[in-house]
Amino acid sequence: MEEKQQFEVWKEDVQPALTSKVEEFHMLGYDRATEEELWECVIAKLRREKKLVQIHYLVSSILTLKATDYMTWLTVGAYKAPNWFSSDEELVFGGN
């Protein structure tokens, strides 16, 4: 029987690593990076793992996350988001 990952249980335990990584990204100029987004990015990557992930591997994944990997994850997420311009409705800007 396949075991399911329970990352949410560890979220509070790895909070210092998330905070550190967000501060690093802010120093690199990625001011809009948040702990929640970094958490979702790392978890999305780890969910593809075939084996059971242990907490030390989770912390390592957070601390070794590269800004380029984070930005790629954001870009892919933006492409997967619903298309605002797909409807036939006319967009109205300002007070027209």
pLDDT digits (tens, 9 = 90+) for 68-95: 999 999 999 988 887 766 665 565 666 5
Domain span holding position 50: 7-77
pLDDT in the model for residue 3: 53
Determine contact, residues 18/34, Cβ cutoff 8 Å.
Answer: no
| Residue 96 domain flag | no
| Residue 39 domain flag | yes
Of all residues in the chain, what percent are helix, strand and coil, respectively (each to 5)? 55, 0, 45
| Residue 35 domain flag | yes
| Residue 59 domain flag | yes
Confidence of residue 2 (pLDDT cuts 50, 70, 90): very low
| Residue 83 domain flag | no
Task: Tell me the pLDDT tens digit for each residue of 9-57.
Answer: 999 999 999 999 999 999 999 999 999 999 999 999 999 888 889 999 9
pLDDT in the model for residue 1: 36
